[in-house]
Amino acid sequence: MKRTVATPLATLALTFASLAAAEDFSKHWHDGKAELSGYALEVSRYGQTRKGTAVMIYVTEPFSDAKRVKVDDHTRNPADVVDVLKLNLVRDFQTGIYDYNTLVSVFSRTSDLAPLKVSFSSAEWCGHVYSEMRFDRRRVSGTYHSYFEGESGQIALDAPKGGVSEDNLFILVRGLRGEFLAPGASRTVPYLPGVFYSRLSHQPPRWTQATITRAAEAQTVAVPAGTFATMLYDVRGGDGRTGQFWVEEAWPHRIVKWSLPPDLSGELLGTKRLAYWKLNGEGGERHLAEIGLGK
């Protein structure tokens, strides 16, 4: 009798928790604004530590499953439209006389936060680099282009079951659809190193393995934006790199700090929800101060 009664009650509790999480997600992420967070960044490049800034822009938008681009009119072909959470991660840093300006765009389906597309661009005084990967159930395909001879071509990889893209970790560890890992839990997964790392190390994309572990207890972290109780995730990759994410324990679980080489440290300066695309007129730059980047 106990088993008969407990099972539906437990299921009902999980159902209510899932519905609450879905309601929180929709209410927060479909409010017509984007989440903007500025970071103080340290990057390893050419064997030296470089200081710079990063911005993470998270926003939902309608996305074409066939074309893998933002749709102009989501009512025209609704069967093709997927709601995605987009992350644009901008990194700017100086290397001696010249600077790097890079952008990683991650498009993840909001229903399960699975990646649909990751694109990357880098502009510096030596030239341009661009790559794009499309994620399907069975394969990862795309192209990469570089000013270096021998570094342009096609991307054609299998998509292993349970595989995790490093770029999508910046969404997954936030636990926006429920905890990525329970406290103290660990998971070993097929792992695709990030496009920023692949570019700076001149390595083609390839699957390896990584073990991702969440600390059993909350960690208190002090950064320029303040002091936060955080969930700590440890990442140990098969490529020899190790990294950490300190994720705000309270909703909306923003990334407070991270370290994942070549990123040596990214620390939160400030964060704000804004419809930033409406702030492109003269004077709009004053809002940079709200994410810690204004003078």
pLDDT at 130 over 50: yes
pTM assigned to the model: 0.91
pLDDT at 57 over 80: yes
Mean pLDDT of 186-205: 95
pLDDT at 23 over 70: no
Non-local (6+) Cβ contacts of 63 within 8 A are: 69, 70, 71, 81, 82, 83, 84, 86, 107, 116
Predicted local confidence at residue 66, as pLDDT: 95
Q: How, if at all, do strands 127-135 and 98-109 pair?
A: unpaired
The region of weakest confidence among 8-22, 27-41, 72-86, 271-285 is: 8-22
Q: What is the mean pLDDT of the chain?
A: 92
Predicted local confidence at residue 19, as pLDDT: 47
Tokens of residue 101, six digits: 């300006």
Percent of the chain having pLDDT more than 90? 87
pLDDT at 13 over 60: no
pLDDT band (50, 70, 90) for residue 150: confident
pLDDT at 120 over 70: yes
The kind and range of the H/E element at 36 are: strand 34-45
Q: How many residues does the chain have?
A: 295
pLDDT band (50, 70, 90) for residue 86: very high
pLDDT at 1 over 70: no
pLDDT at 274 over 50: yes
Mean pLDDT of 118-145: 96
Backbone angles phi, psi at 4, to 5 degrees: -65, -40
Q: What are the pLDDT digits (tens) for 225-267?
A: 999 999 999 999 988 999 999 999 999 999 999 999 999 999 9
Number of alpha carbons in the 13 Å side-chain half-sphere of residue 50: 22
Backbone angles phi, psi at 107, to 5 degrees: -115, 110
Instruction: Compare 2 and 142 and report the one with higher pLDDT.
Output: 142
Under 8 Å between Cβ of 211 and 241? no
Predicted local confidence at residue 8, as pLDDT: 52
pLDDT at 9 over 80: no
The kind and range of the H/E element at 24 are: helix 2-29
Predicted local confidence at residue 123, as pLDDT: 97
- SS3 call for 86: strand
pLDDT band (50, 70, 90) for residue 294: confident
